[in-house]
Chain A
Amino acid sequence: MSTPLKRDEAFLQFLLRMGDNTLILGHRVSEWCGHAPVLEEDIALANTALDLIGQTQFWLGLAGEVQGEGKSADDIAFLRDVWDFRNLLLVEVPNGDFGHTLMRQFLFDAWHSIQLGRLLKSSDARVAAIAEKTAKEVAYHLERSADTVVGLGDGSEESRRRMQEALDYLWPYVGEMFQSDDVDAAMVAAGIAPDPASLRDEYDALISRVLAGATLTIPDSRFGHKGGRTGKMHTEHLGHLLTQMQWLQRAYPGANW
């Protein structure tokens, strides 16, 4: 019989999940830097990536503190391999085209904004403070990604087709956000974080409203890929991403400036 997770072990896993989501999505979005279709979008993408990577420093910084082994946010970000990451599969999938990137951003932002709203009431003051800080930024990430999804979905025939394809491709990655395990149970018991499943109704209401405005159809299937937030099975894409993101530390271990 398995023993319940110790509170700090579960807390560490929870913090890695939060920080790895923002880290990996931040890195993915930063790949657009210098490649976006227009200058304003290039700047918007770079700024969103910056926000996310900044938020990562809070989450992984606190993870290092809770872990108590003297690790910094940078150590955790750059010195782990694929199986140690706890991000959702959604954020590690490649960017695809611009519409695909913004659809992924919207599906994530919607979840992120609801999650941070709940974390404002966390029993851990440090978690509540990070949520308070980052929720403000995520509010305008969501405003922009939702506007862009509507603009492109309810746009030309070509842009609509691409947005529907993006939604069809990404939809099976949505369900993982709402899966609960023993880590979540420990977080709920400690009053630190909500049960992921409890976010689903609010999420569905939010995305249904926006996607209807975008004239897009949400796929029927509730099939969901999983394995990212538990670290059991990442996609093949994460390893390739890490070779770029961690290149410097891999080539010059311990490099500092």
Chain B
Amino acid sequence: MTRPSSDQIWQWLDTVPDPEIPVISLVDLGVIRGVEWNGDVLTVAVTPTYSGCPATTIINLDIETALRDKGIEKLELKRQLSPAWTTDWLSDKGRAKLEDYGIAPPQPAGGPDRCPNCHSGNVTKVSQFGSTPCKAHWRCQDCLEPFDYFKCI
């Protein structure tokens, strides 16, 4: 096969869903840090979100499966710790999808600006820890719905 371009690889990776929040892709999440051909070996640099996130191994497996399905035979996944992952790397597309899904996207202020369900700004923190390491647990004081907030890190 002819060697697919890096742009093509990025597009393929943009169709691989995050295992915990399947509405956003791994590219939206900002964990893919580089795609590079070294001869006939494709190297993909991946950074973990949280050190202990159990999704990390699944993410690597999903990348491998997706690229092998596209015919990539020689693949190397490289763990890249620095620079450390930050929620600033979430794509705008990803942020919009998170809110549609009911998860408030991260805000520089350190808390959600509005309820992802009714869009009221009257929200309160229940706990700094939510259903996964990357999320905090908040509640809307108007519609009374609890919701996840993607923590800023």
Known contacts A51-B133, A133-B81; is A140 also within 8 Å of B52 by CB? no
| Contact, CB under 8 Å: A40 / B53 | no
B51 to A, closest residue via Cβ: A54
Assess whether A58 is in contact with B51, with CB atoms less than 8 Å apart. Answer: yes
Decide: A40 and B133 in contact? CB cutoff 8 A: no
Give Cα A47 to B135, complex, Å: 10
B10 CB-CB contact with A under 8 Å: no
Interface residue? A43 (CB, 8 A):
yes
Q: Which residues of chain A are within 8 angstroms of B53 by Cβ–Cβ distance?
A: 50, 54
Residues of A within 8 A of B133 (CB): 47, 50-51
A200 on interface, CB distance cutoff 8 Å: no
Residue count of chain A within 8 Å CB distance of chain B: 28
The reply to whether the CB of B54 lies closer than 8 angstroms to some CB of chain A is: yes
The CA of A47 and the CA of B51, in the complex, are separated in Å by 11
Q: How far is the CB of A28 from chain B (nearest CB, A)?
A: 15
Q: Mark A82-118, 1 if CB is under 8 A from B, else 0.
A: 0000000000000000000000000000000000000
Contacts of A133 in B (CB 8 A): 48, 51, 81-82, 84-85
Complex: how many Å from CA A51 to CA B137? 18
B2 to A: closest C-beta gap in Å: 36
Report if A143 contacts B (CB, 8 A).
Answer: yes
A75 at the interface (CB under 8 A from B): no
For B151, what are the chain A residues with a Cβ–Cβ distance below 8 Å? 140
Secondary structure class of chain A's binding surface, majority of residues: helix
Among A43, A51, A143, contact of B52 (Cβ-Cβ < 8 Å) = A51
Least CB distance from A163 to B in Å reads 20
CB-defined interface of A135-157 with B at 8 Å, one 1/0 digit per residue?
01100100110000000000000
B90–chain A nearest beta-carbon distance, Å: 15
Of B81, B84, B128, B132, the contact of A44 (CB 8 Å cutoff): B128
What 0/1 pattern do residues 46 to 78 of A give for CB contact below 8 A with B?
011111111101100000000000000000000
Interface residue B130 (Cβ < 8 Å from any Cβ of A): yes
Complex Cα gap A52–B85 (Å): 17
A52 to B132, CA, bound (A): 15
User: What's the interface size class on B, roughly?
Assistant: 20 to 34
Binds B, one of A124-132, A175-183, A230-238, A241-249: A124-132
* CB atoms of A140 and B81 under 8 A apart: no
Asked if B81 and A57 make an inter-chain contact with CB atoms under 8 angstroms apart, the answer reads no
Query: B82 to A44, Cβ gap below 8 A?
Result: no
| CB-based nearest B residue for A41 | B127
User: Taking A50-B133, A132-B81, A136-B84 as contacts, is the C-beta distance between A43 and B127 under 8 angstroms?
Assistant: yes
B50 part of interface (Cβ distance < 8 Å): yes
Smallest CB separation, A137 vs chain B (Å): 6
Contact call B51/A55, Cβ cutoff below 8 A: yes
B129 and A44 form a contact (CB under 8 A): yes
The 10 closest A-B pairs by CB, nearest first: A54-B52, A54-B51, A50-B52, A129-B82, A40-B127, A44-B129, A129-B81, A133-B84, A51-B52, A55-B51
Please list 27 pairs of residues, one from A and one from B, whose beta carbons are closer than 8 Å in the complex, sorted by A's number.
A40-B129, A40-B137, A43-B129, A43-B131, A43-B137, A44-B127, A47-B129, A47-B132, A50-B52, A51-B133, A52-B52, A53-B52, A54-B48, A54-B51, A54-B52, A128-B82, A132-B83, A133-B48, A133-B51, A133-B81, A133-B85, A137-B153, A140-B128, A140-B151, A140-B153, A144-B128, A144-B129
Sample of 15 more A-B contacts, CB < 8 Å, known A51-B52, A133-B84: A44-B129, A47-B52, A47-B132, A49-B52, A51-B50, A54-B50, A57-B51, A132-B84, A133-B51, A133-B81, A137-B50, A137-B51, A137-B153, A140-B153, A144-B128
